[in-house]
Structures are given as structure tokens and as C-alpha cells.
Amino acid sequence: MWSDKAFEEAHHALMRTEKLIAARRFTDVGSLIVRFDAPPSVMAAGAFRPQYDFDARRLQNLAGECCYVAMHLLAADGAAVLAFTWLQSDSSAERFVRTFAARPEEQMASLAVQCAFEHIEHTCMSDPWWSNLKRPMQAALVERVRRANSLAYRQSPRCLSYRIRYANWPVADIRRS
């Protein structure tokens, strides 16, 4: 039942976004673009309903009507690029992204990796990067995926707090619209 509800809400958010883009109402879609000075070792694409922000504050109750944030962590011009997008009318989504943007730049790559493993179904990584992680680091990321796919999972408010350095990609540029 919860999966069906989440699917319906996600589809509704996608349709609203597509209508805004088709109507060329780009200012109604918020974005945060972070360009890094290193190639990505992790890539991800998807949308999710954030329960907590990067300051460990509750954003929304997932049992009610929820906002969505889209996350794309991809390669462009040989370097990693992170794009968060959301509907400007969704204040909880905007707060989620604002708390990410307020993190120190040296934490952003690792927080993006954590967020991808916590929230994004379509996440992949390079074998050399994964093989070079220490076993406890690998276990922590696998546990994020395992818990996120469990119906019994109760997300911790500190799920996206910076604790482990997963990536060392220097920030080249941050743009918000």
C-alpha cells in the first residue's frame, strides 16, 4: 500500500515538473548544480522523498503528502556534476537542498555519495573505487542500501550527517537557481 502511494505521489510530481518545463516555466523548478574537479567514482539518478535534511531535522512525515527531490550525480566534461532539482513550491525540498549547500565544500562529495546510497535506486560505482574502500566503509554503504529497501527501516535523523570521507572531489563551482 505504501509503495503504491509513493508511486502515485512520485508520478504526480513528475507530471507537474514535465508540465512546468513544457510551459517553459523554468523558474518554478529549483536547482542546485555542484561541479567537482574530479571524475565521479559513483554515479546516480533518481528522485526520493527526503525525511530529514543534512542538519538532521525532520522535513516531512512520509505518511502524508510528500515533496520529492531529484538527484543526478553524473559525469560532464570528465568531472563529476551533482544536480538536485525540485518544485519551487515544495518548501521542504528546498530546505533539504539548502542544508546540503550550507555544508562545507570538502564534505559535499562524500555527502552526495551517502545520499545516493541512501536514497537513489539507480546508483553505480567504479570497481577500483569500491575495491579501495576499507571494509567498514563498504559495509556502511551496503547497510544504507539494505535498510533503505526494508519495509521495517526507520531512518535516523543523522542518516545524512558527515562521518566518513567516501570521495575527495574538490568543488569547482556551485550554482543555484
pLDDT at 5: 57
Mean pLDDT of 35-39: 97
Mean pLDDT of 12-38: 82
Mean pLDDT of 117-140: 94
More confident call, 7 vs 88:
88
Q: What is the pLDDT of residues 129-142, one digit of tens each?
A: 999 999 999 999 99
Write down the residue that cell numbers 527531490 correspond to: 69
- Cell numbers for 115, please give them: 545520499
pLDDT at 21: 76
d(CA 43, CA 36): 13
More confident call, 155 vs 92:
92
- Please check whether residue 97 is in contact with residue 86, taking contact to mean a CB–CB distance below 8 angstroms: yes
pLDDT at 74: 97
Give the residue numbers spanning the domain of 112: 2-176
pLDDT at 63: 67
Mean pLDDT of 105-126: 94
Of the candidates 69, 61, 59, 65, the residue with the CA atom closest to the CA atom of residue 116: 69
User: Which pTM value belongs to this model?
Assistant: 0.85
Buried b (16+ CB within 10 A) or exposed e, 24-52: eeeeebbebbbbbeeebbbbbbbbbbbbb
Residue 145 pLDDT > 90: no
Residue 111 pLDDT > 90: yes
Edge-first strand listing for the sheet containing 69-76: 122-125, 42-48, 69-76, 79-87, 29-36, 171-176
What is the domain count for the chain?
Answer: 1
Mean pLDDT of 61-73: 81
More confident call, 44 vs 89:
44
Give the model's confidence band at 126: pLDDT under 50 very low, under 70 low, under 90 confident, else very high. Answer: very high
